[in-house]
Amino acid sequence: MLDAKTERLTIEKARRGDRDAIAALIHAYQRPLEAFLFRLCGKHELAEDLAQEAFVRVIKSLDRFDDQYRFSTWLFTIGKRLLVNAQQKMKPTADSEIVEYRAGDARTPLAEVESAERVERITTLVDIAIGALGSPQREIVLMFHQQGWSVQRIGEELGMPEGTIKSHLFRARRRMLFAIEQSGSPNPSEVLQ
Amino acid sequence: MPEPAGSSRAQRLLVRVLLALRSEARSRPQSLSDRARAEALADRIMLELPRSVLPIGIAALFIVGVVCLMPIMRDAIAAGSDKQGSTVASVVESGLRNQGAALSDGIGALREVVAPFAGEGCPSALENCPHDAPPCDAAAPFSRS
C-alpha cells in the first residue's frame, strides 16, 4: 500500500500518462483488490478479470478523481460494482461453493513459510468462515479484517453508522466461530503451529 | 438464532483465519510475478488510452478544418456584403441626386428673385467685374493710345 503523500504524487503522474506511475498504482492495489473480490465471488479468474477491468476504468477516468477521497476506496467501489454487474449476468454462486482457493498457491504469503498441507487446512477454514457470512457482513468483515480499513471508513463507504458496522462485525465473528466449530475443523495444534 | 460463544480452540482458529485473511490482501513489493502482472496491465492501459483521446483528436481536426475554411467563408461573406453595399450605394447616390436637384431648384428660384433687379437701369454687377477684362487692361488706368 502507498502512503497518502506518495499515493497523491503517483496519481498526479499517472494523470499525465506516466506509465511507471500507472504500473506502481496497479502493483500497490492489485492484490488487495483481487483478494477482496475473490472472497466476495469465490472465483479466482473472475476476481482477476474484474480487478483488471476496475483498474482500466479507474486509470482512464483519473481526471475525475477527487483528491479528497482515498484512491483505494474509489477503486474498490468500482470493483464491487463490476462484480454486482457480473453476478447479475451469471448464475449466483452459493456460499457453500466457495472452496475454490487453491492450496499452496504461490501467490499466498503463507505458502512461502508453511507447508502446502497446512496452508490447505487454514485456507479451507477461511473458506468455511467467510462462506458462513451473508451480505453485508461478508463485505464488512473483508473490509475490516482483510483490507484493514477503519470502522469509520467502512461506515462512509457503505453509508452506515459506525455502531451498525461494529454490530455487524460482532455478529459476523460469532457466526464464523460457529461455522468453524461445526465444520469439524482440524486439530488446532496442527493449524496453529 | 444466537450462535454459541465458541470454545477457546475455535476462537484461536478464528484468529488464525482472520490473520490468514489479512495476509491474502497484503501486497508483496518483492514479488516478481505481481510486478510483471502490474506492468502488463499498465502497458495494456497505455495502449487503450489513445482511444479515449480520439474524440479530442476529432475535435482538433474539426477546429483545423474550420480554420482552413475561414478564408473561403470570409470571401463568401464579403461577396454577400458587396451586394448589400451596392444597394446602399445606389440609395445614397439617388439621395445625393435628389439633393442636387433641390439645390439647382433653389438656385433657379434665387435667379427668379434676383431677375427683376437685373434690368437695363441697373448696372450689372458683373459688368464692373475686373475678371471680364484681361488682366493687362484691367490694370491700366488710362486708355491705350
Contact A139, A165 (CB under 8 A): no
Contact A129, A138 (CB under 8 A): no
**In order along chain A (193 residues), what is the average pLDDT of each group of 10 residues?**
82 88 92 92 91 92 84 91 88 46 48 66 89 92 92 92 95 92 65 48
Q: What is the model's pLDDT at position A24?
A: 92
Nearest-CA residue of chain A relative to B12? A188
- Checking if the pLDDT of B90 tops 90, the result is no
C-alpha cell at A68: 479528497
The answer to whether ipTM exceeds 0.85 is no
Distances (CA, A) of A165 to A28, A148, A172, B10, B18: 26, 14, 10, 23, 17
Given A70, A89, A108, the domain boundary residue is A89
Q: Do both A62 and A129 map to the same domain?
A: no
DSSP A150-189: -HHHHHHHHT--HHHHHHHHHHHHHHHHHHHHHTTPPPHH
Segment B53-81, tens digit of pLDDT: 556 777 888 888 888 888 888 888 877 77
Q: Do both A60 and A101 map to the same domain?
A: no
Q: What is the model's pLDDT at position B89?
A: 77
Nearest-CA residue of chain A relative to B16? A192
In CATH, what number is assigned to the domain containing residue A181? 1.10.10.10
Minimal C-alpha gap between A60 and chain B (Å)? 7
C-alpha cell at A42: 469465490
- CB contact A163 to B (< 8 Å): no
Contact A49, B37 (CB under 8 A): no
- When CB atoms are compared, the residue of B3, B17, B46 closest to A126 is B17
Q: What is the model's pLDDT at position A98?
A: 43
Q: Do both A42 and A101 map to the same domain?
A: no
Check residue A101 and report its DSSP letter.
P
What is the overall mean pLDDT for chain B?
Answer: 76
Q: Do both A73 and A103 map to the same domain?
A: no
Q: What is the model's pLDDT at position A193?
A: 45
**Which chain A residues touch B25 with a CB distance below 8 Å?**
31-32, 35-36, 146-148
Q: Do both A59 and A83 map to the same domain?
A: yes
CB-based contact A108 B24, cutoff 8 Å: yes
Q: What is the model's pLDDT at position B140?
A: 59
CB-based contact B16 A122, cutoff 8 Å: yes
What separation, in Å, do the N-terminal and C-terminal C-alpha atoms of chain B show? 157
Minimal C-alpha gap between A100 and chain B (Å)? 14
| A:14-73 residues touching chain B, CB 8 A cutoff | 17, 19-20, 22-24, 26-32, 35-36, 38-39, 52, 55-56, 59-60
What's the domain range around A174? 97-192
Residue type, B38: A
Q: Do both A142 and A176 map to the same domain?
A: yes
Nearest-CA residue of chain A relative to B49? A60
Q: Strand, helix or coil at A136? A: coil
Handedness of CA A99, A103, A109, A114 (dihedral sign): positive
Given A89, A111, A140, the domain boundary residue is A89
Contact B25, A76 (CB under 8 A): no
Minimal C-alpha gap between B57 and chain A (Å)? 16
- When CB atoms are compared, the residue of A35, A59, A185 closest to B45 is A59
Q: Do both A66 and A122 map to the same domain?
A: no
Q: Cα(A40)–Cα(B138) distance, rounded to whole angstroms?
A: 125
Q: What is the model's pLDDT at position A53?
A: 93
C-alpha cell at A67: 483528491
Q: Cα(A55)–Cα(A75) distance, rounded to whole angstroms?
A: 7
Number of domains comprising chain A: 2
Q: What is the model's pLDDT at position A102?
A: 42
Alpha carbon of residue B112 to chain centroid: 58
Q: Do both A83 and A104 map to the same domain?
A: no
- When CB atoms are compared, the residue of B17, B28, B33 closest to A176 is B17
Q: Do both A126 and A145 map to the same domain?
A: yes
- CB contact A132 to B (< 8 Å): no
Strands (E), chain B: none
> How much of chain B, in percent, has pLDDT values that exceed 70?
68
Contact A2, A32 (CB under 8 A): no
Q: What is the model's pLDDT at position B96?
A: 87
CB-based contact A191 B16, cutoff 8 Å: yes
Q: What is the model's pLDDT at position A105?
A: 47
- CB contact A172 to B (< 8 Å): no
Given A29, A62, A89, the domain boundary residue is A89
**Which chain B residues touch A42 with a CB distance below 8 Å?**
none
CB-based contact A17 B46, cutoff 8 Å: yes
In CATH, what number is assigned to the domain containing residue A31? 1.10.1740.10
Q: Do both A38 and A102 map to the same domain?
A: no
Check residue A133 and report its DSSP letter.
-
CB-based contact B31 A55, cutoff 8 Å: no
Contact A165, A157 (CB under 8 A): no
- Checking if the pLDDT of B22 tops 60, the result is yes
CB-based contact B14 A180, cutoff 8 Å: yes
Closest listed residue to residue A79, CA positions, set A42, A134, A32:
A32
Q: What is the model's pLDDT at position A27?
A: 92
Q: Do both A74 and A120 map to the same domain?
A: no
Q: Do both A61 and A101 map to the same domain?
A: no
